[in-house]
Amino acid sequence: MINILVPICSFPATTALVAGTPRALASLSAEISELSASQFFESPFDALEAITENRHRISHDFDVSEHSGIAAIHQEVYNPERFRETTSVVVNYDMAGMNGLEFCERLPNKAIKKFLIVEPTEEKLAATALSKGSIDRYVVTGEPFVESQIRNGIDQLQRQYFHEMSNTVIQMLSIEPPQNIQDPDFAVFLKDVLTQYNIVEFYLLDQAGRFLLLDSDATMYCIHGDVIVQQEELNDFNQQAVLSFNAFAPAGPI
C-alpha cells in the first residue's frame, strides 16, 4: 500500500454550504463569511442542481491516463473552471423537503466530503452516520467554538479530498509515484514553503518529483529537490531545471 503524504495537486476548490431556511442561511453565512471559495444555498434542491452542473470541472478526472501520465496533472492550471469544482459540503440536518443525510446520499460525486450540522438531539444520529461513512465530520450547534470547528473542518476535508484523489490517480496510472511525495521530510518542507510564499495551488510536474506552485498573485515557482526557484530567478539555476520549468510553465495568463 503506497502512503502518499503530499497530494499530486491542490487548489482552492468550492465548498457548498446548504442551510435549508433563510434564518439558518444567514447564520451559516455569518459564521464562515471569510471563506473565499464557497457557494451558499437556502434550498438543498438548488444545491444539488448546482453541484451536478459543476461536476467534472476538474479535468484530470478524465484527462490523466496511462498514455498521458504524470505530465498531464499540471495541465489543470489551464482549466479556468477548476475553482468551481465542489469538493466539500456543509449541510444542516434539519431542512424542508429532505434532511442533511438524504442530501449527502444524493450527491452526484461520492468523493465530495460531507460535513453535517446537527442539533444536540440529533447527535446520536450523526455519530451513527459518521461510523457508517455516510458523512466525514459533524458539529453540534451550541458547542463552544462552532465557527472555528466548521472553518478548520472544511480546511481538513479539502486536504483530505486532494489526498484521496491523488491516490486514485496514482493507482489509475499504475506507476510508482515519486519518492518525495512519500517522504515525511519533504511533506514538512512543502508545508513550510506553502506558508512562507503564500502558495494557493500546486501541481506535480514529473516523475522526478518537481512541483509547479502559484501564489495568490499567480507568481510561479518551481520546487526541485529542496530548492524553490521563482520564475525570474531561473537564469541563475542549473540548466536542466531551467529547461524543465520552461517546458511546463504556462505560456499565457492563468
Report how far Cα 186 is from the mean position of its chain's Cα atoms. 20
- Give the separation between CA 124 and CA 118, rounded to whole angstroms: 10
- More confidently predicted of 72 and 205: 205
Q: Is the pLDDT of residue 100 over 90?
A: yes
Q: What is the pLDDT of residue 187?
A: 95
How many whole angstroms separate alpha carbon 160 and alpha carbon 140? 22
Q: Are 88 and 161 in contact (CB under 8 A)?
A: yes
Per-residue pLDDT at 34: 57
Measured CA to CA, the distance from residue 41 to residue 37 in angstroms comes to 14
Average pLDDT over residues 163-190: 89
Question: Do 138 and 129 form a contact (C-beta atoms < 8 A)?
Answer: yes
> Over 70: is that where the pLDDT of 241 sits?
no
Task: Return the minimum-mean-pLDDT range out of 52-66, 131-145, 160-174, 196-210.
Answer: 52-66
pLDDT digits (tens, 9 = 90+) for 209-226: 999 999 989 889 999 888
In the chain, where the domains are located: 9-170, 179-248
pLDDT over 60 at 36, yes or no: no
The pTM for the full model equals 0.83
Reported as a single tens digit per residue, the pLDDT across 115-170 is 999 999 999 999 999 999 999 999 998 888 888 888 899 999 999 999 999 988 88
Encode 44-64: b = buried (16+ Cβ within 10 Å), e = exposed.
beebbebbeebeebbbbbeeb
In this predicted structure, the answer to whether residue 64 has a pLDDT above a threshold of 60 is: no
Distances (CA, A) of 215 to 66, 136, 151: 30, 29, 21
Residue 218 is predicted with a pLDDT of 87
Among 94, 117, 97, 96, smallest CA distance to 32 is for: 117
Considering the domain delimited by 9-170, tell me its CATH architecture: 3-Layer(aba) Sandwich (3.40)
Q: Let me know: does 20 contact 92? Beta carbons within 8 Å.
A: yes
Pairwise pLDDT comparison (71 vs 24), residue with the higher score: 71
> What is the chain's mean pLDDT, rounded?
82
Contact 56, 81 (CB under 8 A): no
